[in-house]
Amino acid sequence: MVEFHSVLEERWSCRAFTTDEVPETTLRKIFAFAQRTASWCNTQPWQVHLLSGEARERLAKGLVDAVVSGAGGSDLPMPDAYVGVHQERRREAGYALYESLDIARDDRVARDLQMLKNFTFFDAPHVAIITTDANQGVYGAVDCGGYVANLLNAAHELGVATVPQAAIAMQSPTVRDVLDLPADRLVVCAVSLGFADTDHPVNAFRTSRATFEDSVVFVS
């Protein structure tokens, strides 16, 4: 039995997958575990579309076409800017990613090509689109964040690699069109799932974490 703290310490974001599909029985276990997520007043505002096969290919094509054409837009507000420590952490993660791929910081073409891989889900055979109920406001999105965290950890426990992707939410019009989402469903993010390509250098890099003292204040 894998201990919970080990899952938290060992889980990582995969950015190169094999084409092998995850057995449906395993996928069902992952989503059954994630469904146990706590939510405000037990509203459980998340809904998930899990795409595989032709549906996955159709969404990937639509996303790439939208990005290349300069289209975009998100259902939820995106940050106006990253400043201070948040900018520092973002840069550190980005530099480590590009370094693992031997991409120079000034190589805009290579960086753009790597960025586009977000929209083909880093070749993962499955992608889960997470949406929230528009009527639940910001706390619906907060509850979905808890759901996503549990989804990632449940997948790791069962040997399935994942990567959460806010980039997909930045193309919400395309997602809405492909999935025919009703107006009261807002795109929060995507989670790509599959088996890690362990030979790919991008999967060797890890992001760091601040100490808990940087985030927690004990008040007596």
Q: What is the pLDDT of residues 162-212, one digit of tens each?
A: 999 999 999 999 999 999 999 999 999 999 999 999 999 999 999 999 999
Question: What is the reported pLDDT for 3?
Answer: 85
Q: Name the burial class of residue 194, with classes exposed (0-12), middle (13-18) and buried (19+) by CB atoms within 10 angstroms of its CB.
A: buried
pLDDT value for 2 = 74
Q: How far apart are the first and last CA of the chain?
A: 37
| Residue 25: per-residue pLDDT | 99
The structure tokens 């004990």 sit at 218
Cβ-count burial of 130 within 10 angstroms (0-12 exposed, 13-18 middle, 19+ buried)? buried
Query: Which has the minimum average pLDDT: 5-9, 130-134, 152-156?
Result: 5-9
Confidence label for 63 from pLDDT (cuts 50, 70 and 90): very high
Q: Is the pLDDT of residue 1 over 80?
A: no
pLDDT, position 60:
99
User: How far is Cα 51 from Cα 59, in angstroms, rounded to an integer?
Assistant: 9
| 3-state SS record for 83-126 | CHHHHHHHHHHHHHHHHHCCCCCCCHHHHHHHHHHHHHHHHCCE
Q: How far apart are CA 95 and CA 100, in angstroms?
A: 9
Domain range summary for the chain, segments of one domain joined by +: 15-204
Q: Is 90 exceeded by the pLDDT of residue 37?
A: yes
At the fourth CATH level, which superfamily is domain 15-204?
NADH Oxidase (3.40.109.10)
Distances (CA, A) of 5 to 1, 2, 36, 205, 214: 12, 9, 18, 21, 19
pLDDT digits (tens, 9 = 90+) for 106-149: 999 999 999 999 999 999 999 999 999 999 999 999 999 999 99
Q: What predicted TM-score, i.e. pTM, was given to this entire model?
A: 0.96
- Give residue 190's pLDDT: 99
Phi, psi dihedrals of residue 169, rounded to the nearest 5°: -65, -20
The chain-wide mean pLDDT, for the chain, equals 97
Query: For residues 50 and 128, is the Cβ–Cβ distance under 8 A?
Result: yes
Q: How many angstroms separate the CA atoms of 172 and 131, rounded? A: 10
Quote the pLDDT of residue 104: 95
Q: In what side-by-side order are the strands of the sheet with 161-165?
A: 47-52, 126-133, 185-194, 161-165
